[in-house]
Amino acid sequence: MYKIVSWAAVLLWMALIFNLSSQVAEQSNQLSTGITEVIVKTVEKVAPKAEFDIKSFNNILRKNAHFFAYLVLGILVLKALRRRGAHGCRTVILALGICVFYAISDEVHQLFVPGRGGQVRDVIIDSAGAGVGIGLYWVIGRLVKRNKNRYRK
């Protein structure tokens, strides 16, 4: 049962990424600009003298969204592979490979969306996010396992 739920989570997350990538440029920009404005207004309440270049901040937000989306995907893919019984270095490499392949396919998909384009830089950002997610999952898993073993003794 957990195997099915884990892979369903992977597929749902991939569908969310695909859906966001399917937005035409104007719609995608409106979404990220709206989020940027909320963040800027919140920061200005805390630090009224802070000055922001909205355009630059929006670009940073968009790239961080790429990183975070693939960080989550990396965690979900590795978890699904582990639930299936796969372990070891090959599993980590497979998880990263799946995420990188999906990042490439996502950028190719954007070539067919009006106003959007595929970016090698985004594949690199996505892959880095997936790598960090996979690394976090692996490190936290090791720490949890070590603590469980420590308390069993």
Q: Give CA separation, 52 vs 33, 40, 56, 120, in Å.
A: 13, 7, 8, 28
Instruction: Kindly list the averaged pLDDT for each block of 10 residues, start to end, along the chain of length 153.
Output: 90 96 81 78 78 76 92 97 89 97 96 90 97 95 82 65
Position 104, amino acid:
I
Q: Are 127 and 106 in contact (CB under 8 A)?
A: no
Please give, one letter per residue, the 3-state secondary structure of 62-78. HHHHHHHHHHHHHHHHH
Residues 6 or more apart in contact with residue 119 via CB below 8 angstroms:
107, 110
What's the rounded Cα separation, in Å, for the pair 129 and 125?
A: 6
pLDDT tens digits, residue range 48-91? 777 777 777 778 888 899 999 999 999 999 999 999 888 888 99
Q: What is the pLDDT of residue 153?
A: 58
% pLDDT > 70, the chain? 98
